[in-house]
Amino acid sequence: MSEPYLPTLITATPEEGFQLALKLSRLAVKFTQPSAEVRDRLRPDYAENADSLTAASQVVAINFQTVAQANDFWR
Amino acid sequence: MSEPYLPTLITATPEEGFQLALKLSRLAVKFTQPSAEVRDRLRPDYAENADSLTAASQVVAINFQTVAQANDFWR
Amino acid sequence: MSEPYLPTLITATPEEGFQLALKLSRLAVKFTQPSAEVRDRLRPDYAENADSLTAASQVVAINFQTVAQANDFWR
Amino acid sequence: MSEPYLPTLITATPEEGFQLALKLSRLAVKFTQPSAEVRDRLRPDYAENADSLTAASQVVAINFQTVAQANDFWR
Amino acid sequence: MSEPYLPTLITATPEEGFQLALKLSRLAVKFTQPSAEVRDRLRPDYAENADSLTAASQVVAINFQTVAQANDFWR
Amino acid sequence: MSEPYLPTLITATPEEGFQLALKLSRLAVKFTQPSAEVRDRLRPDYAENADSLTAASQVVAINFQTVAQANDFWR
């Protein structure tokens, strides 16, 4: 990951902010498990499990709090 | 999802804010598992499981914090 | 749920705020599992399980943060 | 619970605030499982389980955030 | 625990604040399970389990939020 | 750990802040399980488990909230 992966928390719209929250959630996984091959292999384990999807949604919710606050909630 | 799915965090009432928190919780699931067919198949796994419902309620609670703060708690 | 179920986050006292936090936690469950029959059936699964009760308490804690902040902590 | 169980979030010291956070965590359990008999029966299930104790500690941490903020961190 | 166990949330440095967050996490466990003998017996259950360590780290993260905010992030 | 491990929460960029959030998450694990040998042995348990990676991402999200706020979101 030599290209800048997180240049700013500021986004133009709530939708872009939500996408950034998704990205932040995945970034932390990437840094914990750098192998794309392993991550791809694990994908069905959570993408087809209801509780895993809820857990993933929770991480996004926490990151979205951060991004929304950074953008003063796009008010 | 080509139509705008998150135009604003501002809502007229707390009830609309709560509905937005529910929507945010589901949006994150949709982006993680884009297949509506899979999501529908998984639904009974959490909708009929007490702990899964509590976990879902927690995600809504976190998103509701964000929405409520965005709306200055509708004070 | 046609009657207003969440008219305001403002309460007169911390106790009423705590009750509102409990209500918010249950509301999210109701919207995820609308069937009262199913919810009643699931009740023993969490009400008689220590970890489930702790998880429920955590959701209330998150919602109470929101309500307390909305009321400026009843200072 | 007819006596006032949560008159205020304001405490004189951080220690009293921490005790209030413990109380809030237990209050939510009491309202979800009103039977003291059942709660007592479940106690060993979490008090002698490492993960359950960690989960309980997390609920206290969330409630302590609320209480500490209410008291402006006793600064 | 008759000696003062939580005199203040203010610390001189981020490191001391982090240590306080660790202490707060353990304090809540102590109040839930007062027996040092039981706590010691349970220690391997979480100290040698990856998910338990992650859960413990999460409690510290929540408490560190509180301590960092109390200290205005040592800015 | 005699060298300073947490001199400041202030970072120059969001990326450095994200790295600090990762570090904080690992620090809490280190203080709970000081043995590097044990931590290394446990690594596959979470780095190759989807739910464990999500849980790890959640801890990073909470710590990133703290770091982002400390830096006024690098606005």
Of F65, C24, A26, the closest CA to residue B59 belongs to C24
E53 lies within 8 A of chain D by CB? no
Measured between beta carbons, the chain B residues lying within 8 angstroms of A39 are none
The two three-digit tokens of residue F53, written as one number = 């990676």
E40 lies within 8 A of chain D by CB? no
The residue in chain D having the minimum alpha-carbon distance to the alpha carbon of residue C71 is D70
Measured between beta carbons, the chain F residues lying within 8 angstroms of E21 are 28
Q: Which amino acid is at F69?
A: Q
CB nearest D75 (choices: E7, E25, E70): E70
D40-64 confidence digits (pLDDT tens): 999 999 999 999 999 999 999 999 9
Of B64, A58, B47, B27, the closest CA to residue C6 belongs to B64
D29 lies within 8 A of chain C by CB? yes
Q: What is the mean pLDDT of residues A16-36?
A: 98
How distant, in Å, are the alpha carbons of A8, C56, E28 from that of B47? 38, 16, 32
- Chain A closest-CA separation from residue B18 CA (Å): 14
A18 lies within 8 A of chain B by CB? yes
Measured between beta carbons, the chain B residues lying within 8 angstroms of A14 are 6-9
Q: What is the mean pLDDT of residues F4-19?
A: 97
Helices (H) and strands (E) in chain B, counts: 3, 0
The two three-digit tokens of residue D16, written as one number = 């009293």
Q: What confidence score (pLDDT) does residue F3 get? A: 76
For residue B36, is pLDDT > 60?
yes
Residue F2: pLDDT band (50, 70, 90) is low
CB nearest B55 (choices: A46, A54, A74): A54
D53 lies within 8 A of chain C by CB? no
- Chain A closest-CA separation from residue B61 CA (Å): 9
Q: CA E59 to CA B10: how far, in whole Å?
A: 31
The two three-digit tokens of residue E25, written as one number = 């996490």
Q: Which positions ≥6 away from B49 have C-beta within 8 Å?
A: A50, C42, C45
Residue E2: pLDDT band (50, 70, 90) is low
The alpha-helical segments, DSSP class H, found in chain F are 14-32, 36-47, 50-70
How distant, in Å, are the alpha carbons of A8, A57, F43 from that of E56? 30, 21, 16
ipTM of the complex: 0.97
The residue in chain E having the minimum alpha-carbon distance to the alpha carbon of residue F52 is E51
Of A19, A64, A59, C23, the closest CA to residue B9 belongs to A64
Q: What is the mean pLDDT of residues C2-26?
A: 95
* Site from E32, E52, E63 to mutate, D interface, most D CB atoms within 10 angstroms: E32
Q: Are C64 and C18 in contact (CB under 8 A)?
A: yes
F23 burial via Cβ count (<10 Å: 0-12, 13-18, 19+): middle
Asked if the Cβ–Cβ distance from A38 to F49 is below 8 Å, we say: no
Which single residue is written with the structure tokens 């509708």? B74
Cα R_g (chain E), whole angstroms: 14
The residue in chain F having the minimum alpha-carbon distance to the alpha carbon of residue A34 is F47
E51 lies within 8 A of chain F by CB? yes
Residue D55's Cα: distance from chain center in Å?
Answer: 12
Q: Which positions ≥6 away from B50 have C-beta within 8 Å?
A: C42, C43, C45, C46, C49, C52
Which single residue is written with the structure tokens 């004189």? D12
Q: Is the dihedral of CA C40, E32, E71, F9 positive or negative?
A: negative
Q: Are A39 and A33 in contact (CB under 8 A)?
A: yes
Asked if the Cβ–Cβ distance from F64 to A24 is below 8 Å, we say: yes
Query: How many other CB atoms are found less than 10 A from the CB of residue C22?
Result: 19
E40-61 confidence digits (pLDDT tens): 999 999 999 999 999 999 999 9
Cα R_g (chain F), whole angstroms: 14
A2-17 confidence digits (pLDDT tens): 678 999 999 999 999 9
For residue D19, is pLDDT > 70?
yes
F50 lies within 8 A of chain A by CB? yes
- Answer whether F touches E (≥3 Cβ pairs < 8 Å): yes
E16-36 confidence digits (pLDDT tens): 999 999 999 999 999 999 999
B1 lies within 8 A of chain A by CB? no
Residue E3: pLDDT band (50, 70, 90) is confident
Q: CA B18 to CA C9: how far, in whole Å?
A: 11
Q: Which positions ≥6 away from F1 have C-beta within 8 Å?
A: F30
Q: Is the dihedral of CA B27, B29, B31, B33 positive or negative?
A: negative
Residue A39's Cα: distance from chain center in Å?
Answer: 14
Q: What confidence score (pLDDT) does residue A3 get? A: 76
How distant, in Å, are the alpha carbons of B64, C27, C36, D36 from that of C41? 27, 17, 8, 21
